[in-house]
Chain A
Amino acid sequence: MLGHLEESVLVAVLELEKTDGGAFGLSVFNKLKELGINVVNGTVYNTLDRLQEKGLLRSEITEPIAERGGRRKRIYFVENKGKEVLKEAYLKNRKIYAAWEAGLNNA
């Protein structure tokens, strides 16, 4: 079972993986802002850690990068289990909204 923020972070990582070849803390934070989700950046890192502990994400550490003051970067990728969980969440949400739509039409 995913929380709303976990779901959003997972979607953000998946999208960044396709567009940029992988996600990192700052890019996930920016992507969430783009999606209209405003959270404290520290929360993003905690959520990424939690998703990794749940086995839904994996990460790799890069070599030091000069543009980052010689600091390394942690790149996140969605695991197959993460994709499955995300699909389940999507189907569940679709059912909920279909019921909501049917309720609206009958009103």
Chain B
Amino acid sequence: MHRSEKYLLLLVNVIIRYKKPLSFILDMFMLFLILYEFKMHFDLSGSTLVALFKTIMFLVTTYFSVGITIWIRRLLSAEGEIKDADFNLLSKLSSLFVDAVSLDEFIGDAIEYGKDKKYPLLKTYFYLMPIVILRICSPVSKVISILSEWISQLASK
């Protein structure tokens, strides 16, 4: 297998594994190593490497945000209620960023927000989505900026 194909496979693996919040940190580290090898192989400058890293991160974060959106939509039944089985699943998966009590609070507020509206399901969904995305994206963006800083420092050596 060609070296670039290996990189591509690793990158696809990173994106697939991104669905699990816990593996995210490991994936970021792996991506960091891949990029560093890229730098050595193609003799890229520090700024090109950081730009490349940020582009990949942007694509991955967008993918992740879309994933959360689909997740929340699946959580809501046709009546605008949250299904318990899915709620438990969400609690488990998001426990890294949102604790169960806070999630209970957010979902409760979202249901209360949507209940007197013309389209309760949509309103509930749109109230909940930015809260969860903000909670998850905030630590993720911190990790991205720390890693960008690392890469930039390492590349300048």
The interface of chain A, by Cβ under 8 A from chain B, is 24-26, 40-43, 45-46, 61, 65, 67-69, 71-74
Can you name the residue of chain B whose Cβ is closest to the Cβ of A30? B113
Q: Select one of B107, B130, B134 contacting A71, CB under 8 A.
A: B107
Is B135 an interface position by the 8 A CB rule?
Answer: yes
User: Which single member of B101, B115, B127, B135 contacts A61 (CB below 8 Å)?
Assistant: B101
Q: How many chain B residues touch the partner (CB < 8 A)?
A: 22
A45 contacts B101, C-beta separation under 8 Å: no
- Quick one: CB contact mask for B93-137 with A, threshold 8 Å, 1 for yes? 000000001101111110111010000000000010011111100
In angstroms, Cα B106 to Cα A67, docked, is 14
Kindly state whether residue B82 has any CB partner on chain A within 8 Å: yes
A26 to B111 alpha-carbon distance, docked (Å):
10
Chain B contact residues, majority secondary structure: helix
Q: A42 to B65, alpha carbons, bound, how many Å?
A: 15
Number of inter-chain CB pairs below 8 Å: 58
User: How near does chain A come to B81, taking the closest CB pair, in angstroms?
Assistant: 6
Q: Which residues of A contact B134 (CB under 8 A)?
A: 40, 42-43, 45-46
Contact between B101 and A25 (Cβ–Cβ < 8 Å)? no
With a cutoff of 8 Å between Cβ atoms, the chain A residues found around residue B131 in the complex are 41-42, 45
Would you call A25 and B107 a contact (CB within 8 A)?
Answer: no
CB neighbours of A40 from chain B (8 A):
130, 134
- For the complex with contacts A25-B109, A40-B134, A42-B130, 14 further pairs of A-B residues with Cβ separation under 8 Å are A24-B109, A25-B105, A26-B109, A42-B132, A42-B134, A46-B134, A46-B135, A61-B101, A68-B111, A69-B107, A69-B111, A71-B107, A71-B111, A72-B105
